[in-house]
Amino acid sequence: MSPRELSQIIAEARYYNMLAQLKPLCEQSDIWFELPVEFQRHVLSAEYTYTNQLRLLVQEHQHISQLFSRLNIRWVYLKGAAYQLTDIRCMQGRLMSDIDILVPQEQIATAEQALMEHGWLHKKLTDYDDKFYRDYSQEIPPLRHFDRQTELDVHFNILPTVLNHGPDPVTLLTHTHMLPDSSGAQTLSPEAMVLHSAIHLFYESEFHKGVRDLFDIVQLIKYFSQQPDFWENLVRLQHSIGNGECMFYAIRYCRIIYQLDVPEDVVAFYEQFRPGQLVFYLTDPAFRKVFSSIYPVHNDFGDQWYLLVLYLRGHLKRLPFSKLVPHLIRKSVYRLNPMKKDEPDVMI
C-alpha cells in the first residue's frame, strides 16, 4: 500500500476510535512486521493508551468491588468494561470512554449513595436534565471520580424505562456469569452480551462511531459462536427479551459488510422482525452508509439525509412522541439562551 493509503487508514481508525485494534488484526494477518515503522508508531501509541486504560479499569474494578461487596450490591459490567475484564481476546485494543455497570432497580439508591460517599460526583447538570435522566432514561446521571477522574455510568435498565417495549432487566439479570476473580462482579452471558450490543447500537440516534460498534458485534459473534449452544441460546433469550428488530438489523449488516457466517435457520428466524416496507426503505440505505463509512472525507451529497433519518428514528425509539416533542422544544430553547452556554446539554 502507498504511504497515502496507510495514512488514510490511520486517520480513519483514529476517527472511529479503533487505532489500537489494528495491531492484533495486523498480527493475525501476519503483516505487522511488513508495515512501515511510521505506521507502527501510530498504532503502538494507541496501544499504549489502551494498556493504560486497562490498568485504570482494573484499579476501578477493585475499588467498586470493595465498596459493593461490603454492601451486598449486585452489579454487572456492560460493554467495554465487560469485554476487557472477561479477557475476550478478539476485543484486544478496544478503547472505551467510561465504565458501564447494571445495578438492580431496588439497589440503585444504595449504590448511588455509596459511590457519592466515596468520591464519585455527578457531572454538572440542570435540574431538568437530572430529572430527565432519572425519570425518562435507563441510568442515573453520569458520575466522575473527583480524584481519579474516571467516568462511571450506572444503569438500572438497558433502555429507557418509559418504553412499553423495553426489555425486562430482571430477565437480563438471569443471564449473567461471575467474574473468575471472586470479586462478586458479573458480566452478561454470551447471548445476552450480543443482544445488549445490538439493542444499544440500534437505539442510537448518532452513528459517528457506527463502524466500530457494528465491528464489536461481528467480533463477539465470531468469538461466541464457537460455543455449540450459542445460537440456540441467543434465539431462546430473544423470545424472552423482545426487541428482535435490533438483532435483525445487526445480523443483516454483519453479513452484508463483514460477510459474517450465520446459520440459515437463525437468519430465517430473525426475518420475522424485519420492519415494515416504508421504514425499511428509509433506514436500510442509511444504515449501509453509516456502517461502511461515515468518515467526513468520504461524505457524499445526500449523506446528511441518511444521518437525519437515523437521528429522528433513534429519538422516536427512545422516547414516546408525546414526551419527545416537549423535550426537544425545551432543549432547543435552552440552547438559544446565551447565559446557559457553559452548562452541559443533555439529549436523549
How does DSSP classify residue 274?
A: P
- Residue 174 gets the label, from left (phi > 0), alpha (psi -120 to 50) or beta, of alpha
Residue 196 placed within a domain: yes
In a domain, 341, yes or no: yes
Share of the chain above pLDDT 90, in %: 72
Q: Return the axis-axis angle of helices 321-336 and 303-318, rounded to nearest 10°.
A: 120
pLDDT in tens, 290-328: 998 788 887 788 888 999 999 999 988 887 777 777 767
Question: How far is residue 332's CA from residue 326's CA, in Å, rounded to a whole number?
Answer: 10
pLDDT class of 164 with cuts at 50, 70, 90: confident
209 within a domain of the structure (yes/no): yes
Q: Is residue 160 part of a domain?
A: no
Q: What is the mean pLDDT of residues 31-56?
A: 96
In a domain, 37, yes or no: no
Residues whose CB falls within 8 Å of the CB of residue 180, separated by 6 or more in sequence, listed in order: none
- Which of 140 and 340 is assigned the larger pLDDT? 140
Task: Determine contact, residues 115/75, Cβ cutoff 8 Å.
Answer: no
Instruction: Please check whether residue 128 is in contact with residue 151, taking contact to mean a CB–CB distance below 8 angstroms.
Output: no
CA 202/CA 213 separation, integer angstroms:
10
Helix, strand, coil shares of the chain, percent, nearest 5, are 60, 5, 30
Residue pair 78/102 in contact (Cβ under 8 Å)? The answer is yes
Report d(CA 193, CA 199) in Å as an integer: 10
Q: What is the mean pLDDT of residues 240-255?
A: 95
Residue 124 in domain: no
Confidence check: pLDDT of 8 > 90? yes
pLDDT at 348 > cutoff 70: no
Which residues pair with residue 155 across a beta bridge? 102, 139
Neighbours of 272 (CB within 10 A): 9
Give domain status of residue 82, yes or no: no
In degrees, rounded to 5, the angle at the alpha carbon of residue 16 between the alpha carbons of residues 203 and 234 is 45
Per-residue pLDDT, 340: 55
Counting the structural domains of the chain, the total is: 1
Instruction: Give Cα 53 to chain centroid, integer Å.
Output: 17
121 falls within a domain: no
- Report pTM: 0.91
Position 121, amino acid: L
User: Residue 343 — pLDDT band, cuts 50, 70, 90?
Assistant: very low
Residue 101 in this model has a pLDDT that exceeds 50 = yes
Strands 176-178 and 76-78: unpaired
DSSP state of 35: S
Task: Tell me the C-alpha distance between 75 and 102, whole Å.
Answer: 6
Containing structural domain, residue 334? 189-348
Confidence label for 344 from pLDDT (cuts 50, 70 and 90): very low
Q: Is the pLDDT of residue 275 over 80?
A: yes
The answer to whether residues 74 and 103 touch, using CB atoms and an 8 Å cutoff, is: yes
Q: Which residue has cell 470479586?
A: 183
